[in-house]
Amino acid sequence: MPRHALISGASIAGPALAHQLHARGWRTTVVERAPRLRDEGQNIDVRGSAREVLRRMGLETEALAAGTGEVGLRFVDGAGAVVAEFPAGTGGTDGATAEMEILRGELSRILYEHTRASTDYRFDQQIRELTEHGDHVTATLHDGEQIEADVVVVAEGTRSRTRGLVFGEVGLDELGMFVAHLTIPRTADDDQWWRWYGASGSRSVGLRPDNRGTTRAMLNHLTDVRGLETLDRADQVTILRRTFADAGWQTRRILDALDDAPMYFDAIAQARLTRWNHGRVVLLGDAAWSAGPFGTGTSLALVGAYVLAGELAGADGDATAKTAAALARYEERMRPYVDWAQDVRPSAIRAMNPRSAAGLAVQRTALRAAAPIMSKLGRITGRASRMPSIMTELPHYPAPLRPVAPA
Ligand SMILES: Cc1cc2nc3c(=O)[nH]c(=O)nc-3n(C[C@H](O)[C@H](O)[C@H](O)COP(=O)(O)OP(=O)(O)OC[C@H]3O[C@@H](n4cnc5c(N)ncnc54)[C@H](O)[C@@H]3O)c2cc1C
């Protein structure tokens, strides 16, 4: 009998794991709280060895073809004039815009299309209870159905609920910033650049191209207020309108579109857990190690799924001790990468969203000075040079990955 993984969450980490476990002979079930695959959000980048994971899955060409076509990042002033520009990277790791820049929803859709024939997807469903029996786990879903699995993988994102059933309440490190990602109508002067406008008052506004004929807008605000992500949409919209009313540049256009725009709203937080598994229940992706929206979350999720599948498939015979050893190795391999990704200094977030007009002027001067140097170096921060080795070199696992044809 094939071993069975029950995975909770159908965004990036969940379907990526389902793909790789199926390719290694496992049976997979994915439960997703939303009634259908979620499409909101904006561009995410796939860097370093995460590109290699997609290549080994047979999905790299399709993901590149579905890219947004973004050509780089431009900082603009209130009149739309360019302050500094950083062209897209051409390699796997460099540039503020990565070579593989794709909508989160597009990558999720590709992963789903390539797994839906082999995976039992249950939308509009959640895990209510988990019971460990030593050699397997029983999950009770909200509708009362019970599912038995060799391993349960929680890939529900930063504010995962099922994680709490096993690990208790996990305190998140709130970074004091909320982000609203919106999909708005495209206008004639929207180009292929990611345009970033810093307004004073710790606010920034972004517009990015997509490959769907629309534009992705971003509203960021640094604030001491907590819990905004728990408000309902109408209240979040009211707060966005109030906060950004006088921000300038193209903000009015974004606020005008708010009522109808698909929106993903979140307060930025990091999850720092001392361990990622409890018996046969294991965390993956943002649920395990959310680092914040700084360009690493999706790459971490893909590499994490690859490593978890490789380690689990290698645990021959499925004895409980072997599963435990596989989960320990998964954690050992991923920790350095996660520690690196979570090393985001609050001062860097403040520097990107200055409070005063004077701070904004300093930021623009610094960006003007940095642009020619960074363009030559080919990256916007020195972080890439400090990447741990798993970011550039994937472990090899004996069980080969078989590409799974789309349904
Ligand atoms: C709608 C959406 C939009 C996003 N937009 C951006 C963006 O624009 N920029 C960016 O940098 N990052 C964005 N992210 C986060 C980004 O996808 C992750 O950082 C990264 O890809 C790792 O993904 P993940 O699969 O671990 O978690 P996530 O992408 O957060 O996905 C978690 C999934 O689990 C589901 N889920 C949550 N709770 C439950 C539950 N109790 N039971 C079952 N399912 C559950 C969610 O609906 C979601 O589909 C977005 C995430 C989502 C869900």
Per-residue confidence (pLDDT) for residue 404, from 0 to 100 = 60
For the domain spanning 4-69+100-172+271-344+386-391, the CATH number is: 3.50.50.60
3-state secondary structure string across 207-249 = EEECCCCEEEEEEEEECCCCCHHHCCHHHHHHHHHHHHCCCCC
Whether the pTM exceeds 0.85: the reply is: yes
**For residue 140, what pLDDT is reported?**
98
Nearest ligand 1 atom to the CA of 160 is 38
Which residue minimizes the CA distance to atom 21 of ligand 1? Answer: 298
Q: Which atom of ligand 1 is nearest to the CA of 9?
A: 34
Q: What are phi and psi of 166, to 5 degrees?
A: -105, -40
What is the pLDDT, as a whole number, of residue 91?
52
CA 202–ligand 1 middle distance (angstroms): 25
> Ligand 1: which residues within 6 Å by Cβ?
8-14, 31-34, 38, 40-42, 44, 104, 126, 155-157, 160-162, 181, 264, 285-286, 293, 297-298, 301
Domain definitions of the chain by residue range: 4-69+100-172+271-344+386-391
Three-class DSSP category at 169: coil
- Both tokens of 321, joined, read 């001790």
CB atoms within 10 A of CB 309: 28
Predicted pLDDT at 138: 98
pLDDT along the chain (407 residues), means of 10: 95 98 95 96 88 94 94 94 86 62 95 97 98 95 97 97 95 93 96 94 96 96 93 97 97 96 94 95 98 87 96 81 94 94 84 89 89 58 58 76 59
CA-10 nearest atom, ligand 1? 49
Mutation probe of ligand 1 site: the residue of 11, 37, 167 with most atoms within 8 A of C-beta: 11
Give 155 Cα–ligand 1 centroid separation in angstroms. 8
Are the C-beta atoms of residues 328 and 315 closer than 8 Å to each other?
no
Query: 358 by DSSP, 3-state: which?
Result: helix
User: Rounded to whole angstroms, what are the CA distances from 382 to 93, 96, 373, 378?
Assistant: 11, 11, 12, 10
Ligand 1, atom 23, residue with closest C-alpha? 12
